[in-house]
Structure formats: C-alpha cells, structure tokens
Amino acid sequence: MKRLKILPLSLRGKKRYVKVVCRELLPQNFEISVSNSFKKLFGMLGFSFAKIKIVYKKEREIIFKCSHEYVPYLIVAICIASFGTKTFPKIRGISGSIKKLKAK
Amino acid sequence: MNFFDVIIPEKIHKRNIIEFIETAKWFGYGKICFIFPAKAIKKKDKIESILNESANTTVKTYFGFYARKMKELLKLIKLRRNFDLLIVEGGDLNLNRKACETSEVDILLNPEFNRKDSGMNHIFAKLAAKNNVCLGISLKKFLSTFEYKEVISNIALNIFLAKKYGMKITLVSGASKIEEMVDPLSLVSLGKILGMELKEAKESASRVLTNIIEENLKRKRPEWIAPGIEVVKK
C-alpha cells in the first residue's frame, strides 16, 4: 500500500510534551483514567483536538504528548484522574522536545 | 515561584498535619494555611502548638478559620486579631453580601456553591474590591459540582466580574484529606481554563495569598489600629 508523503514541519500542528512524576507507583490504567476524565470535562471534540498520546512510561514517570493549545486542559485532566488517590502526580516539566524534558 | 495553598483538614491531629506538610513539600508549595471550622476557635492554643511542633524549614504554615453561618462570621470578626486568615464559605446570598461588606474577611470561597445563579453580581464585586475581599475558587468544590448544569459558567462569570471590578482572585485546593492535595500547576491551569491570563492565574495561586497574610500579620501587632493607621513611637 502506498504511503502518504509526510507533511512538512511548518504545516504540522505545534505539540508539547508534559512530564508527570508520581510519588507512588503509577496505577495500571492511569492513561485510560486521564483520557476518560478529559472526555468527561471537555468532551469528545476537545479530546480529538488535543491529540493526546503517551510517549514514555516508567514506574513513576510518564510523558504525554499533546497539542500546545491543550496543555492546561491535559494538566487539569491528570489532576482530576488522580484526585482522591494516593498517586500524587506532579508536573515536572513542559517542553517542545523530549530530549530537554528527559533531562528535567 | 512560591506557591500558597489553603487546606481545610477534617481533624486537628499532629500526625495528620505533618502528613499534609510533607505532601505540600513534595508538590513544591512554599506556604500553606490550615483552615478550621469556627467552632475550633476554642482550640486555638492547641492548633498553634501543633503547628509550632510540626514546623518545617521549607514549608511555612499559618492557620485560620472559616464561617458558614452569619453567627459564626460575627463571632470570628470579634476575634479577628487572633488568627491569620478568615474565610467565608459562600452559598447563602446574605452571607455572601456580608462577606463582601466586611474588611475583616479575607476570602469569599465559592459564592456559587449549591446555587443556581453565580451568587455574586457587580455590586458585590465592587464592595469586595473596596474592602479587599478575595474571590476564592476551591478545586475540591469545583470537582464535586462540575457535573451539574451551569456550575462552570457561573464560576467563569464570577471570575469575569472579579477581573472587571478589581477584585482579587485566589485558586486553592481546599483539600480535607491528603489524597485531595494537588499540584500547584493544575490550579494555575484551572484558572487559565476558566478565563484568566497565565500571569494572573500564577499570581492567584501564589502572590495574592502571600500579600494577604503579610497584611494580616501586621494586624496582629498592638500598634495596628485600622488599615493605614498605626501608632508610631517617636
């Protein structure tokens, strides 16, 4: 099957990476609960425009990728997903490149 | 940035308060204020001793009281010099108005709580701006009511009125359990979503409350008489 030519950088939407560090171990379905709370609060339209993806996941760290306009929305969704649990997620950093973010 | 949070603990236990302080340290808060119900004013000395014992070098602690009824508010106003912060939990229209009219009150927390309207109008906002009363938005109350119709739009309306008439805004977690504490950046993000600029949202989670506490610490001194009036020794 023929693949589409990749869009040039100038035509792609801007993205940001959000690094989250937890005090306890990350729960198994953390990313699912984040996307569920995002959909509940901002709807399916907001969820599709936000383009949320998980780039990197470790025991206590997780890196989300999303559209640069939807960073505050994602942070609130993370907060709601972990509200009332002892996960205590902390936003370690927001950056345009993974290399910089991993160093934080 | 030195973030500030307001916590409303369920119990006055040393262990509970130490856990709150440790969690605040993990999230990077510089200062936290524990708010207790008006009934607990009798246990003021106990609260002070617990906070002194659990003092931490990185997180500064303060304490205050909240009022839910008019009687409680009038009682707390009389004893205003004995504590750092006075909060009125909104909801009742008369109480909201009284809070806006009283300069001893520091924060009017969630005036739209349990109401179909926003609990505040342009007159309240003007009065509050004149008497230095802040509009407080508690994340805990937001999360417990955001599913209901028009709650978010009412909060956004209150923020709009506060911005227009020069009323200060504070964003707090209002946690009653340790699990309800949140990262300060999520408070800032919530403020941005609800219609604040990024700089305003950051200030409302940090500098606004710090300034209020500094002003209140001045009030505790015996030389203080009224805002702007002090006894000066020659």
For residue range A26-55, list pLDDT tens digits in order. 888 888 999 999 999 899 999 999 999 999
Mutate which of A22, A33, A79, A94 to disrupt the B interface (most B C-beta within 10 Å)?
Answer: A79
For position A101, what pLDDT does the model report?
A: 86
pLDDT on residue A16: 95
pLDDT at B190: 92
Question: Band of the pLDDT at B10, cuts 50, 70, 90?
Answer: confident
Residue type for position A104: K
Q: Are B21 and B56 in contact (CB under 8 A)?
A: yes
The least confident of A31-35, B16-20, B223-227 is B223-227
* pLDDT above 70: residue A9: yes
| Chain A contact for B183 (CB, 8 A cutoff) | yes
In CATH, what number does A13-103 get? 3.30.70.3250
- Using CB atoms, which residue from A76, A84, A89 is nearest to B190? A76
Of A72, A86, A90, which is closest to B183 when you measure between CB atoms? A90
**Contact residues on chain A for B183, CB-CB shorter than 8 A:** 75, 79, 89-91
CB contact under 8 A, B181 and A88: yes
Q: What is the mean pLDDT of residues A78-103?
A: 89
CB pairs under 8 A between A and B: 48
State how far residue A57 is from chain B, nearest Cα, in angstroms: 20
Strands of the sheet containing B107-109, edge to edge, are: B3-7, B29-37, B60-67, B85-89, B107-109, B134-138, B169-172
Min Cα distance B151 → chain A (Å) is: 12
Ranges of each domain in chain A: 13-103
Q: Taking residues B160-187, what's their average pLDDT?
A: 92
Please report which confidence band the pLDDT of residue B221 belongs to, taking 50, 70 and 90 as the band edges: confident
Q: What's the confidence (pLDDT) of residue B82?
A: 85
Contacts of A92 in chain B (CB under 8 A): none
Angle between the B122-130 and B93-101 helix axes, to the nearest 10 degrees? Answer: 30
Q: Is the pLDDT of residue A21 over 90?
A: yes
What's the whole-number mean pLDDT along residues B194-221? 89
State the pairing for strand pair A89-95/B107-109: unpaired
State whether B179 and A86 contact (CB < 8 Å): yes
Whole-complex ipTM: 0.90
**pLDDT averaged over every residue in chain B:** 89
Residue B116, min C-alpha distance to chain A (Å): 20
Chain A contact for B180 (CB, 8 A cutoff): yes
B147 — pLDDT class (breaks 50, 70, 90): low
Closest in B27, B146, B179 to A41, CB measured = B146
Q: pLDDT tens-digit profile of B28-50?
A: 999 999 999 988 888 888 888 88
Query: In whole angstroms, how large is the CA radius of gyration of chain A?
Result: 14
Which residue from B27, B180, B189 is facing A84, i.e. has the nearest CB?
B180
The pLDDT score that the predictor gives to residue B101 is: 92
Instruction: Please tell me the predicted confidence (pLDDT) of residue B41.
Output: 86
Residue B181 touches partner A, C-beta closer than 8 Å:
yes
CA separation for the pair A76, B95 (Å, rounded): 30
Task: Say which of A73, A76, A85 has its CB closest to residue B179.
Answer: A85
Residue B2 C-alpha, separation from nearest chain A C-alpha, in angstroms:
16
Contacts of B212 (CB under 8 A, 6+ apart): B85, B106, B107, B132, B134
Question: Mean pLDDT in chain A?
Answer: 91
* Interchain pair B190, A86: CB under 8 A: no
